[in-house]
Amino acid sequence: MKSSKFLYGFVLPMLLVAVPMLLVLKENDLGTTLLIGATSVAMMFIAGSHPIYMGGMAAAGAGGILYLAMHMNERMARLTAFLDLEKYKERAGLQQWESLKAFGSGGLFGRGLGESVEKMLYLPYAHTDFIFPIIGEELGLRVTLLVVCAFLALSLSGIVIATQARDRFGMLLGFGLVMNIGLQACVNIGMTTALLPNKGMPLPFISYGGSNLCMCLLFTGILLNIYRRGNLAQGSPVTQAAVLQTRVTPRI
């Protein structure tokens, strides 16, 4: 019985997840690979997989990503700059150094909307991966904290929706979707504030780029559908019948 649970509850799911992870890893995108792996491990933990298996897999995955990063010149330079940002502020640590300058110059209330100086070719990729410091420079600490609170509220709302899903599939799907959005936000905010090594990952809903925005909106739509179906399942039979009748009744 235990061997069957280990096979179907851990081995097979990890093999399925390994396929897209290897394809993304082949493109040298370590951040997205780690994002997929972390989301999958969190979903499997929620599904009931043994914590020892999950901990071992997480440690092995993080160690593998670190090993690969140490053997790639660009990634290794970013890790080295992260450990001593001021020393490498004109080379590998340039983005994060300019990012901190943007936050500092913005202060509490900011320079004003559209008045950023760092986005004038001082801070690379200011419209994509490093858009969060521009928000801090133009609108100040109060708005950056509001953005953080908005992502926190979205994540907590998604978790609540997942826990109230009508079935197990909806619960795991909802939790995986909110983890994907939340982890992207955490990594982006962490790297732009120099709390994490530099990694090209967009800020959901805000960074320039249509593909990420479309996927985030799709994830949000699925979460809303899970919420709607969960409320319908918990409602009274009379309420459900009324909703169904409204669906099929043609409008005049």
pLDDT tens digit sequence for 43-84 = 888 888 777 877 887 788 778 877 877 777 777 888 888 888
- Same domain, yes or no: 139 and 44: no
**Which residues have CB under 8 Å from 26's CB, separation 6+?**
none
pTM for this model (two decimals): 0.82
Residue 89 has pLDDT above 60, yes or no: yes
State which of 71, 100, 116 marks the end of a domain.
Answer: 71
Question: How many domains does the chain divide into?
Answer: 2
In angstroms, what CA-CA distances link 140 with 60, 86, 111? 40, 23, 7
Q: Do 233 and 109 fall within a single domain?
A: yes
Tokens of 57: 């897999």
Helices (H), the chain: 2-6, 12-26, 30-47, 51-70, 73-83, 94-106, 131-139, 141-163, 168-192, 210-234, 237-248
Mean predicted lDDT score pLDDT of the chain: 84
Whether 47 and 92 map to the same domain: the answer is: no
Q: The domain containing residue 14 runs over which residues?
A: 1-71
Q: Determine the Cα–Cα distance for residues 152 and 155; give it in Å rounded to an integer.
A: 5
